[in-house]
Structure 1
């Protein structure tokens, strides 16, 4: 994890108090909301500066207009053979302006208190080391690239989403597309960079003004470099020649040196990565599409009300949906209400979230989210553990602390197992994770499904619901069919709460059978 993610931030500005946070904002929508507050303060400070500046300009304009009027009168009287400045008071006014008024104007412009206050405020905010940096920007861009890859979206489709929601025009959007293209180029994701740079070039065609050509030249430079990286020499030469046609033949330009070097040396293009069948199925399921399956004649899935699971469900039965049989994956609806969910989120907000890691405490792009751990001392977290115990029938004394996670831009958890490939020392006595119990603490507008690529199953997040499955066979052998993933969030915020139950002391709750693979 990069250094800024561990930097302590405590910044106090008018109207905004930052409590200590950790960086890496792109991996959590909660942290992104904090950045929204920061930008709101920048807007407020800028608006205040403009208002003070406008007052100052109005005062200066009024003064200059008065002086211009005096000079106009002077010219008129000279034309009429009258000496305007012969009048003692008028002569005094001229001297007074030069001695006093213009000195005050000079002092006002030199001091420029509003500008100094504004610069101090902005510098404190945008240059503070805990705010997003270049690595944050690349993390956000990788999130966008991930969304395109998983959901088969073009750059234009993503831009259309923004344009439709905020009515943005090409004069601002082209810059965003260009920056995404540049960052993807720096990340050596050349095919994606090409798409965004081409879109930036297209949007620039609608931009008027004397700077449009200069801006287009910068886009064309990166376009040419991207074509070179992809091994498309002819397209690179074509772009470079068009770029140079905008300048005089005697004007020095980096494009001339690039064009000359292509005659002698053409870099090798990178090998294209092949897409695995597992990823193809993962992507398909994330889009809510299943592979067709032959009718096996097995028991069909059903939805039903369960009154008998536990005494607490006698009056308010469980709403159960069977998602898959053998291994069993079940969805339980309306397990939590809004008040309970708000209490969980409020409880977790009391702690600083941190970037989610995989086994071995490693930060990787396979898991992009932020999380906190909650023990069962608080009433609300303990009540959720009781719900899981009542539904699963397991002994909850051997459950891990509850993990509460929030997914940011393109937030995901790539295909993985919840059981351990090598059981950590701290779980030797407790055993492996026999069961996963995931609460959905929010709805997700688009994306964010939980998918099981080997089972051809996807589960859509539904606020207040609980989905659970087994990670181990009854024999406690690891069940690799439990491979699952959290799809990237395309729109909205995904919040989940995980409780993992371990296998020790569960022998009478889920006894072994004669079939070791059951």
Structure 2
């Protein structure tokens, strides 16, 4: 850094004609960008972090993402969104539910330089290894869309088998919201929070965080002794005006990449996913997800991916994998 400024000083004061012909501000911005990529902190600034709750353990980072990073994540997901799903607490199967009405898309791990830099920054902030994290999940909420209060940790054996519980969540806000869309924690304890009329009614009975572009919240779903923390119950209030873009990174207690070929397959499966509404059960719920019968699933079955990557194939190509018992 010191050498760089000495060179700038030399050009400006010793060769003014040369310095005027160069875009020195552009050179400086380029240098800073290179420095950030080579910096092992990946842009992490601890002075921007504040503790907001101990039950649950939650921390707020002002300016975690730049405007350009927010816009880039939205760009990667826009036009590729699918209806968000929830997991059945007993079977672990994913299905469409009225409790979660947003849409989302999983990026690929390390998809590009920007995504890698954000993933590294998350690891630096949380002190948790990158391989324990899922792919960044970009979410979109239109007016009226929401996610009722829920836990991020699992109760079913299927999801626990891959990486164990989700122990921490990093929620990044990619846009401002005119009104609504707050993240609320109804079981949070010991927090006195004043709210004026700019807050939605949904958020007024709980500790809540307003979405602000670039900011992020880190909260833990497990206690330090690894038992589940019921105070981590949280949800997303309905958007009243505007729209909400966010990105989530769920971090597990163990390596989430331990299943062979998972990184290779995850994006393909998410792109090919088709959601089918089954007949009503009479209780106003949606049927479980059916597998897409596209060439992608059929091709993976032919390549014997079911036994090699059972977790992925059952999740995204379930009815094709019924045939895999013979393979």
* Same fold (TM > 0.5): yes
Which residue of 156, 161, 168 maps to 1:428?
Answer: 161
Q: Residues 377 and 335 of structure 1: is their aligned pair in 2 closer, same or farther, counting only changes over 3 Å?
A: same
Q: Deviations over 1:97-151 (max 9, x none)?
A: xxxxxxxxxxxxxxxxxxxxxxxxxxxxxxxxxxxxxxxxxxxxxxxxxxxxxxx
- Please tell me whether residue 335 in structure 1 is matched to residue 64 in structure 2: yes
Checking the alignment, whether the CA contact within 8 Å between 1:431 and 1:502 is kept in structure 2 is: yes
Relative to total residues, which structure has the larger strand share, 1 or 2? Answer: 2
Structure 1: any 5+ residue segments left out of the alignment? 1-309, 507-518
Q: What is the alpha-carbon distance in structure 2 between the residues aligned to residue 314 and residue 346 of structure 1?
A: 21
Find the counterpart in structure 1 of residue 172 from structure 2: 439
- CA offsets, 1:348-405, max 9 Å, x none? 23x6211001113211221111110111232222221111101000011111111101
1:495 aligns with 2:245: yes
Is the partner of 1:490 in helix, strand or coil? strand
Secondary structure of the structure 1 residue equivalent to 2:116: helix
2:43 touches 2:121 (CA, 8 Å); kept in 1? Answer: no
User: In the alignment, is the contact (CA less than 8 A) between 1:447 and 1:488 conserved in 2?
Assistant: yes
Structure 2 segments unaligned to the other structure (5+ residues): 1-38, 88-92, 189-205, 257-327
Aligned pair partner of 2:49 in 320, 324, 348: 320
Task: Give CA deviations for 1:481-506 in whole Å, capped at 9, x if unaligned.
Answer: 11001000011110110000000269
Query: 1:387 aligned to 121, 124, 132, which one?
Result: 121
With over 3 angstroms needed to count, the CA separation of the structure-2 counterparts of 1:469 and 1:317, relative to structure 1, is closer
Answering whether residue 139 of structure 2 is matched by residue 399 of structure 1, we say no
Alignment-derived partner of residue 82 in structure 1 = none
Contact 2:186–2:207 at 8 Å: present in 1 too? yes
Matches within 5 A, 1:30-429: 312=41, 316-349=45-78, 352-359=80-87, 360-378=93-111, 379-425=113-159, 427-429=160-162
> Which runs of at least 4 in structure 1 moved beyond 4 Å after TM superposition?
313-317
Distance in 2, matches of 1:363 and 1:505, equals: 27
TM-score (norm 2): 0.56
How far the C-alpha of 1:438 sits from its partner, in A, is 0.5
Tell me the residue number matched to 1:92. none
| Per-residue deviation, 1:332 | 0.1
Question: Deviation string for 1:34-55 (max 9, x for gaps)?
Answer: xxxxxxxxxxxxxxxxxxxxxx
> Secondary structure at the residue paired with 2:86?
coil
d(CA) in 2 for partners of 1:357, 1:466? 23
In 2, distance between residues paired with 1:315 and 1:362? 36
Which structure: larger Rg?
A: 1
